[in-house]
A and B are shown apart, each in its own frame.
With several copies, the nearest count.
Chain A
Amino acid sequence: MIRLTKENIDIHQLFEEVNSGSAGGVDIFVGTVRNATKGKEVIALEFEAYEKMAISELQKIVDTVISRWPVQKVAVIHAVGYKKVGEIAVAIAVACPHRNEAFEACRYIIDTLKETVPIWKKEIFHDGEVWVSAHP
């Protein structure tokens, strides 16, 4: 399951997407909106996605994970639109027969997502906005 959503991301639902009687370990990574960046207070984030390509890049990541680790089920859900501090930006769940594989596969997904998936976040401060990582 790969999805972009404007709704609040539901961790329990994400877990149920991958839970099955045959998995021994499920690792879930949740990225949330932090209240500060480099010491400066963040009010909210805005996520923008090139949705079609984001889905296809996420699918590539999931395909790689399935080819490398004995993954039973994977779910990736990423927010688009405005998110407040403490809200969920991204949630990834991986179910595997053994836990080490679940940890490694989940970590691979979030690491690669941050490198390749066309989603951008704008940090909104009291006194302005900045597209994250855009400039040196």
Chain B
Amino acid sequence: MIDRKIALEILAFGITKEVLKARSIEIELNEPVNIAHLKEVLLQEYPELGDLNSLAIAVNSEYAEDDTQLSEHDEVALIPPVSGG
């Protein structure tokens, strides 16, 4: 069995930009990968993300569920608690 890897660019907004110390990061993950898996990897790398009130993930500008599968070229974004208005 061959591990196929996908490279994902993760956009960071609001406080997550400060936690990641970047507007975006690139990570490589073994397929298949879903949102729950991505979150685990991120929390391990950036434990401060676990201190937030909430952390949603958007894929291609839509809120994603834990079981949403990720593919190469997806635009992934970290959505900390929103506070517009």
Which residues of chain A have a CB within 8 Å of any CB of chain B? 31, 47-50, 52-54, 56, 78, 89-90, 110, 113-122, 131-136
Residues of A within 8 A of B13 (CB): 48-50, 118, 120
User: With A and B bound together, what is the CA distance between A78 and B17 in angstroms?
Assistant: 21
- Of the candidates B11, B58, B80, the one whose C-beta lies within 8 Å of that of A134 is B80
B53 within 8 A of A: yes
Contact B58 A136 (CB under 8 A): no
Contact-residue size bin, chain B (C-beta under 8 Å from the other chain) = 20 to 34
Given that A135-B53, A136-B53 are contacting pairs, would A117 and B84 also be in contact in the complex, using a CB cutoff of 8 Å? yes
List, in ascending order, chain A residues with CB within 8 A of B44's CB: none
| B80 nearest in chain A by CB position | A134
Query: Known: A50-B58, A50-B77, A131-B15. Is A120-B84 also a contact (CB below 8 A)?
Result: yes
CB <8 Å contact, A132 and B83: yes
Cβ B58 vs Cβ A53 within 8 A: yes
Cα distance A136–B81 in the bound complex, in angstroms: 10
Q: Are A47 and B84 in contact (CB under 8 A)?
A: yes
Give me 5 other A-B pairs in contact (C-beta within 8 A), A50-B79, A120-B14 excluded.
A53-B58, A118-B58, A120-B83, A120-B84, A121-B84
